[in-house]
Amino acid sequence: MVRPEMCAGVHSNQTKTEGTTGMSIQESIRLVDKGDYAIVEFDLIGEKVNKFSTPVMFRLKEVVEELRQSKYKAVIFRSLKEKIFIAGADIDEIKKMTKREDYMDAVTKAHEIFNALEDLNMVTIVAIHGACMGGGTEFSLACDYRISTLDKATKIGLPETQLGIIPGFGGCVRMPQKIGLPNALDIILAGKAVNSQKAKKMGLVDKTVPPESLMDIAEDMAKRAVKGEVKKSSRRYQGKSVKDKLLHSFLGRQVVFNQAKKALLKQTKGHYPAPMKALDVIRDTFALDDRERALLIESSGFCDVAVTDVSKNLINLFYLLEDVKKENGVEADVKGLDVKKIGVLGAGVMGGGIAYVAANKGFKVRMKDINNDAIAKGFKAARDIWNKKVKRKRMTENELEEKMSHISGGTDYAEFKEMQLVIEAIVEDMNIKKAVIGETAGQVTDDCVIATNTSSLSVTEMAKGHPKPENFVGMHFFNPVDKMPLVEVIRGEKTSDVATATVFETSKAMGKTPVVVKDGPGFLVNRLLFPYMTEGVFFLEEGMDIKVVDKYFTHKFGMPMGPFRLMDEVGLDVAHKVLKIFHESLGDRVEMPKTQEKLSATDRLGKKNKKGFYLYDEKDKHTDVDSTVYKDLGLDAPKSTGSSKECIERAIFQMINEAARVLYEDRIVEDPGKVDLAMIMGTGFPPFRGGLLRYADSLGSQYIVDQLDEYATRFGPRFKPCQALVNMAKNNKSFY
């Protein structure tokens, strides 16, 4: 999912560093005289990170010019921030730009500064400790040598494509020429960051050192440069092996670019223009010896994608994610419990997954279940996830065992008095949950927070099983737990701010993205998702082809799964059960397809028994549509492909309609941004569209209401636009 810490452009309407922030900017980049060499220190005053804002870039220009006119034989660039070298550009400035000429002016000025840095008549050394991202990496590539620490916080990369843009400070030109095409494409096209060891293997850094040795080794290199023992570095990549040289020959390059293009199209389905534009720029510049021409091609490519709606939507998503980092889940200035130990009730696949995500981030976890076989399954579920990392060489066997040591388990409540948080993940039965929650409350401290991982049952009702309902809250993980980033934090009627903040902050510490929602049928995500799946069954009844319909939603619209594949993934039995709950709680507007009961009467469960709308192999990969499903449901073979526009609108517009109810009628959430964040992180709603409600705004509320009215006339009351959406259309309002 999208977590860029990047750099791309500088605003250009300020021409000098003097002014209200002049002195602080001067102090933010300091030049320290060390005799025959210098040290330049980045420490942006008043900021947690170093970033390339317009004033900072102009100050950098001054420093580079001062170096050019100096007597120095070498210079070291370092950061005084604790875990940050340079995080990138000031994204606020990028967000405010709208015109192509503004972007072009910005990147052109940046190129001038970095070119002057590259052309300095001295050895330039970058001492990297912490995050070196986007423009920070591009800055380092304009220098001769890079030394990085082996600290886990040290990451080097170019994540611009995650914001819908491409490296614009020379990264598309300099990185391939420094580390070769395969490695550069791997980083740039995916918007990836790598650790120091991998960076060293690629040639992205020249030395890796312990953090405490960084400046000693950098200064030793500078002193050797003063003596003439270290020279300016070569700028052109030289293949080491025969295979490497073949890959970089004229014909080899064509093969590399063609394969990369095929892989991109398969991955993005053409919805994300930035990776393809980056590939085009690299292809057109790699063999050029004319730096100015190459950078002009990069600038033009940057502007092409920076002005797109895709980029704006991805930047908005970036800000939604940044907001979560600053929040505690409640309006009051309340601190949650300092959670160190977590209990997990239920050691099935879900419980094992929860244990994994907690232990993986350093929490001590104790699983409890009714028998040792269940505990063993929980251990296996966690170990299997880490084993995949070992197989991919992303961790060692020793590291796996160290992680596993954070998890213990048993059939009693041993150690539960030491827990600050207990997460219940047992069978979805209200009476059983109430009994277990009440029993657990007697085994923990008075202030321990108990959270339920329910996906559909009322948190308010369940809290009646707890003697202190203020200490009870929902904590809904999405399956598979190790991959899905969203956690819905569900407040019951009596849930306290402390309990909410505890689960919110713990979710973030687990590496998840929490969204606080009010208790209600399906909470937020499942409530918005049920029309999407249900409409699929209506498509089926109308004689549409399962595979074709799913492709409409994946290939044309950008969803990760069509409605049929999603039902298989969720479980056809679960989907049926949840739909009945919605029908009972929300009334006749939740229409039950006639085929739904027939479907629930079959032995089709979806992926979990390898038989649903699709068939599945031994690795749980779907193979093809199970053509016998039509006969089993008493339907004729598909005779219609339907209209892609109509299919997409029927499903997605119902979701928008429900979102308007959730926001303005039921107040499940208060902010359209939370709806969009939850839908992207919980369902994979296409990020390039900005989220469900940004997509709605791009169409206009009047168009959506008109189409819903038409579909209601043709297909029934499930399409009737809610009053909140009608009012929006009448007043020409949007969600944002």
Residue 126: pLDDT band with limits 50, 70, 90 = very high
Q: What's the predicted TM-score (pTM) here?
A: 0.91
The answer to whether residues 182 and 259 touch, using CB atoms and an 8 Å cutoff, is no
| pLDDT (tens digit per residue) in 342-382 | 999 999 889 999 999 999 999 999 999 999 999 999 999 99
Residue 713 has pLDDT above 80, yes or no: yes
Residues in the chain: 736
CA distance 39 to 218: 10
Residue 386 has pLDDT above 90, yes or no: yes
Give backbone dihedrals phi and psi of 29, rounded to 5 degrees, phi first. Answer: -130, 105
Residue 589: pLDDT band with limits 50, 70, 90 = confident
Class of the 526-730 domain?
A: mainly alpha
Residue 677 has pLDDT above 80, yes or no: yes
Give backbone dihedrals phi and psi of 84, rounded to 5 degrees, phi first. Answer: -135, 130
Residue of 491, 510, 407 lying closest to 449 (CA atoms): 491
pLDDT of residue 430: 96
Residue 131: pLDDT band with limits 50, 70, 90 = very high
CA distance 675 to 355: 27
The two structure tokens encoding residue 346: 């239920």
Lowest-confidence range among 247-251, 424-428, 565-569? 247-251
The answer to whether residues 291 and 173 touch, using CB atoms and an 8 Å cutoff, is yes
| pLDDT (tens digit per residue) in 33-54 | 999 999 999 999 989 999 999 9
Q: How many CB atoms lie within 10 A of CB 370?
A: 12
Residue 30 has pLDDT above 60, yes or no: yes
The vertex-474 CA angle with 661 and 461, nearest 5°, equals 80
Q: Where are the domains of the chain?
A: 22-310, 341-519, 526-730
Residue of 72, 60, 190 lying closest to 114 (CA atoms): 60
pLDDT of residue 1: 37
* CATH 3.90.226.10, domain 22-310, yes or no: yes
Please enumerate in sequence order all residues whose Cβ is within 8 A of that of 696, keeping only pairs 6 or more positions apart, or say none. 656, 659, 704, 734, 735
DSSP string, 531-549: HHHHHHHHHHHTTB-HHHH
Per CATH, 22-310 and 526-730 having the same topology is answered no
| pLDDT (tens digit per residue) in 442-501 | 999 999 999 999 998 999 999 999 999 999 999 999 989 999 999 999 999 999 999 999
The two structure tokens encoding residue 35: 């005799």
Q: How many CB atoms lie within 10 A of CB 228?
A: 9
CA distance 568 to 563: 9
Please enumerate in sequence order all residues whose Cβ is within 8 A of that of 189, keeping only pairs 6 or more positions apart, or say none. 161, 260, 264, 275, 278, 279
Q: Which helix (H) or strand (E) holds 525?
A: helix 525-541
Identify the residue whose tokens are 């309002």: 733
| pLDDT (tens digit per residue) in 498-511 | 999 999 999 999 99
Lowest-confidence range among 287-291, 598-602, 686-690, 697-701? 598-602
Residue 584 has pLDDT above 90, yes or no: no
The answer to whether residues 607 and 620 touch, using CB atoms and an 8 Å cutoff, is yes
- Residues annotated catalytic, as ranges: 476
| pLDDT (tens digit per residue) in 62-115 | 999 999 999 999 999 999 999 999 999 889 999 999 999 999 999 999 999 999
Residue 7: pLDDT band with limits 50, 70, 90 = very low
Return the axis-axis angle of helices 692-699 and 701-715, rounded to nearest 10°. 100
Residue of 643, 667, 639, 660 lying closest to 705 (CA atoms): 660
Residue 261 has pLDDT above 70, yes or no: yes
Identify the residue whose tokens are 């909410």: 500
Residue 13: pLDDT band with limits 50, 70, 90 = very low
Q: How many CB atoms lie within 10 A of CB 152?
A: 9
| pLDDT (tens digit per residue) in 144-202 | 999 999 999 999 999 999 999 999 999 999 999 999 999 999 999 999 999 999 999 99
CA distance 661 to 524: 11
Share of the chain above pLDDT 70, in %: 97
pLDDT of residue 23: 62
Q: How many CB atoms lie within 10 A of CB 280?
A: 18
Q: What's the mean pLDDT in 391-397?
A: 91
Starting at the edge strand that comes first in sequence, how are the strands of the sheet with 407-410 ordered? 407-410, 364-368, 341-345, 421-424, 449-452, 472-477, 486-491, 513-518
pLDDT of residue 12: 31
| pLDDT (tens digit per residue) in 262-313 | 999 999 999 999 999 999 999 999 999 999 999 999 999 999 999 999 999 9
CA distance 478 to 107: 41
**Annotation: CATH topology of 341-519:** Rossmann fold (3.40.50)
Lowest-confidence range among 238-247, 533-542, 559-568? 238-247
- The CA-to-CA distance between both ends of the chain, in Å, stands at 23
Share of the chain above pLDDT 90, in %: 86
Mean pLDDT rounded to a whole number for the chain? 93
Give backbone dihedrals phi and psi of 638, rounded to 5 degrees, phi first. Answer: -55, 135
pLDDT of residue 21: 52
